[in-house]
Structure 1
């Protein structure tokens, strides 16, 4: 049967192991929080870029319609001119 000194030593060792483990977990959690914050920032930046691209894209359908109308007018003019 272990005496009081051995029990105290074992408890001390368990406490140290627990503190080391908790410190490691705290460090890993801090890293996860930092990465999460960076991901949130990246998502926000990406959303801003997508919104800017969507705003810049609106003239494309209008331009294609204008080009198609120009081609139609040119085709009709060529057909009537010959």
Structure 2
């Protein structure tokens, strides 16, 4: 099982944020970027470039969840790679 914590939160608007999340296990760690749209949609990006391209309408999120519980489940179980 992974552990995860937000290491930075950028507020685009009061109800829209981008969180930089560090996900770790015993051997590996990886950073994900989570765009929280008003608590109704959580889009996860594996790298910063894809996040930027998403806001330019040139890319989709790597993962999308409808609840924070689904997002937490994903982060807790995601396979980390370097």
**TM-score of the pair, normalised by structure 2:** 0.17
Higher normalized contact order (CA 8 Å, seq sep 6+, divided by chain length): 2
Q: Greater strand percent: which structure?
A: 2
